[in-house]
Amino acid sequence: MLLIGLTGSIATGKSTVSSLLSQPPYSLPVIDADLLARQVVEPGTRGYRAIVSYFGPSTPDLLVPAGPDMPEDGPTGKGRPLNRPALGRRVFGDDEQRRRDRAALNAIVHPAVRRAMFRAVLGCYLRGHRAVVLDVPLLFESRLDRFCGSVVVVAVRDPRVQMDRLRSRDPHLTAEEAENRVRSQADVRDKARRCEARAAAAGSGSGVVVWNDAGKEELAEEVRRAMAEIEKSSPRWWSWLLWACPPAAALLALWGFWRNTRINKAWEEQELRDKANL
């Protein structure tokens, strides 16, 4: 089964591409890391309790306020849901405290998401899907790209497009808050360069950049181009053959993991050399 890692940055159109891939003519199952991240911190979960324990003492508005429609112990009796805007203000930003808080939040959420993702991928394999999309905003940062046969980065060339889309989508954000959210993630143009470097090292279908500076029709055409490249490098008959022969699929997965690890190491070493020459 082919794992297609889908990533981008905030307000670049990744969710739109994910939606397109889940519909005909592709009809691919999508495992959404953001959705899993919400599920693993719902009231009553281990993740929820860890977040409340860490952030609760210093964040009075961490939970949705109690009121006529929100009991003190929450609608399910397991606690009130997290107040996501308040949590976002704690972790989004460039100062040292916010970076520490963001790292703490990631340390709680990411392992739980990985476990849920593994279970979802296994389910797709057992149901006989030839490919599955892993929709992960921090695909490179979490090193999950090492497990993917193909990586698709949804990017914009113009930073102003990204900022305008974010302010339009979330009008409650101030200009500073929007800037903090964009800066809290790696520059999407760097992700695009990394994806292109992967394609140069392992073949065009292993890394494809979908540019989304224009409208929906242009984006749909970009997605068609990307999927044609992926299909060419991993045709359907090959996917079905691997599904029918699990030992061969396991060996290929191990080889792909080793190859992608080497590609990542080469990228990181080149980045260090580039920074040293500045």
Pair 137, 17 in one domain: yes
Beta-bridge mates of residue 150: 4
Pair 49, 24 in one domain: no
Pair 62, 90 in one domain: yes
In order, the DSSP letters of 229-248 are HHHHHS-HHHHHHHHH-HHH
Phi, psi of 70 (to 5 degrees): -135, 100
Q: What is the pTM of this model?
A: 0.85
Question: Among 128, 154, 176, where does a domain finish?
Answer: 128
Pair 136, 122 in one domain: no
Pair 178, 195 in one domain: yes
Indicate which CATH number applies to the domain containing 265: 3.40.50.300
Long-range contacts of 82-86 (CB under 8 A, 24+ apart): 82/41, 82/48, 82/51, 85/172, 86/59, 86/61, 86/62
Phi, psi of 105 (to 5 degrees): -65, -45
Tell the burial category of 178 from Cβ atoms under 10 Å away from its Cβ (0-12, 13-18, 19+).
Answer: buried
Pair 203, 96 in one domain: no
Pair 101, 11 in one domain: no
pLDDT for the residue 278: 66
- Mean pLDDT of each 10-residue bin along the chain, 278 residues long: 94 94 96 93 94 93 91 90 91 86 92 93 90 94 94 93 87 83 85 95 93 93 96 82 82 93 94 83
- Structural domains in the chain (count): 2
Range of the domain at 42: 38-128
pLDDT for the residue 266: 94
Pair 16, 152 in one domain: yes
Pair 42, 92 in one domain: yes
